Amino acid sequence: MSIGYACLTIGIPETSFRTCRKINATEENLNELILFNLQSLENIIDYNIKNGIKLFRISSDIIPFGSSPVNTLAWWELFKPRFEQIGQKIKSSGTRVSMHPGQYTVLNSPDEEVVSRAVEDLNYHTRFLDSLGVGSEHKIVLHVGGVYQEKELAVERFISSYQNLSDAIKKRLVIENDDRSYTVSDVLSISLATGAPVIYDNLHNAIHTSDVSKDDAYWIELTRKTWKPEDGSQKIHYSQQSAMSRVGAHTRTISLDPFMDFYHQVSREDLDIMLEVKDKSLSAIKCITATTPHQHIKLLEKEWGLYKYSILERSPKLYDAVRQLLKDKNSFPALDFYRLLDQALAMEVTTGTSVNAAAHVYGYFKNKATEKEKLTFFKQLDKVEKGVGSLKTLKKVLWNLTVNYNEPYLLQSYYFIL
């Protein structure tokens, strides 16, 4: 089983993506943006490999205006060596990638122009994955689309549009249940007519289901039967409902207790779980760590090194609780560890706790900083303590010190991003 995340890493330098406005989409600008984005993708793949993350969704925006006539570059040829290099890393590491076109890629629209644009978008996504040289187990995920007041006709239009797709698209395309229009039962029926594998989304099913008496394990087993050997392992989406937010909104982070209940209910070696969550790579590592068969306290200690000052900034009490928890080197208290982290991260940063944490971080530089740097830090610290300064500015001072003195422990710390 692989557990992964979508599109972006959190807190990892040089992994962002850039785009531009249509008016600025010149060949020169697009060439520069694509080169930058492919380098970011390679950096993400390197990060994932280093951290044992073998499932990743590539952002559809990686090639700006990838399916638009605005982009006239033959990018798949211009950047062929770079694609091959990234693709080789993906294949040699056993990583599985996917893409997920957005809400405007609709195959069952009654508007032929909309359908035509959707097909072009699927051609773009297919070309991108083909350029990486990866096999048919690397998928493109698509929702069925709208209902348009006539669901049966909308389904017929989807099936008709699907049948007209190229074989190259069909071998990658998988369809997913949504939270408004098409239940997993609906999508299974469409799969029967098209042969497209079905992605099961647990939160969508919780919101919009055809049978409340059936649990996740039931639907996952039913959708498993739509996956053929050439499709690779069955893949599902997992997310949690954010409290006090609109229905369907994803949580900031994955809460481990419900995730572990879900994991134990559905766990199979031939099942891949894509997390849909706002903190992305952080939750992926959390869930991978909590479910690893290779349990060792060093895994939690590594995580603690990244989180510790973010926790101290919110709750010295919980900071001490985590330190006590990790003292037993023969244990692996992953659930308790992440419960404490999540509890702390949900707390507000106060003036007192922020000043305390900043002083601890400054300890790395107290014997290195110049007099000018010391003066700058303590002046800003004093402002924050008196309520007239910005914590953001104080952290910027500490970040500059971190970069200037190349302090590796802090360069990786989540203190500067959470």
Count, in order, helices (H) and strands (E) of the chain. Answer: 18, 8
Over the stretch 153-184, which tens digit does the pLDDT of each residue have? 999 999 999 999 999 999 999 999 999 999 99
Binned at pLDDT 50, 70 and 90, residue 64 comes out as: very high
Average pLDDT in the chain: 96
> Looking at the whole model, is its pTM more than 0.75?
yes
**Residue 342 scores a pLDDT above 90:** yes
Sign (positive or negative) of CA dihedral 15, 204, 251, 52? negative
Contact 133, 170 (CB under 8 A): no
Strands (E), 78-228: 96-99, 140-143, 173-176, 198-201
Say which DSSP state 182 is in: -
Task: Report strand pairing: 96-99 vs 173-176.
Answer: unpaired
Tokens of 29: 């600008």
Q: How far is CA 50 from CA 36, 128, 350, in A?
A: 21, 24, 35
Which residues lie across from 272 on neighbouring strands? 235
Over the stretch 205-259, which tens digit does the pLDDT of each residue have? 999 999 999 999 999 999 999 999 999 999 999 999 999 899 999 999 999 999 9
Tokens of 182: 């098409």
Could you please state the CATH topology (level 3) that the domain comprising 3-291 is classified under: TIM Barrel (3.20.20)
The rounded distance, in Å, linking the Cα atoms of 397 and 393 is 6
The rounded distance, in Å, linking the Cα atoms of 42 and 131 is 14
The rounded distance, in Å, linking the Cα atoms of 45 and 15 is 10
The share of the chain scoring above pLDDT 70, in percent, equals: 100
Q: What is the per-residue pLDDT for 267?
A: 85
Domain ranges across the chain: 3-291, 297-345, 351-416
Q: Region 190-219: what's the mean pLDDT?
A: 97
The rounded distance, in Å, linking the Cα atoms of 170 and 196 is 7
Q: At what angle do helices 216-224 and 184-194 cross, to 10 degrees?
A: 10
Grouping H, G, I as helix, E, B as strand and the rest as coil, residue 79 is coil
**Residue 301 scores a pLDDT above 90:** yes
The rounded distance, in Å, linking the Cα atoms of 305 and 328 is 17
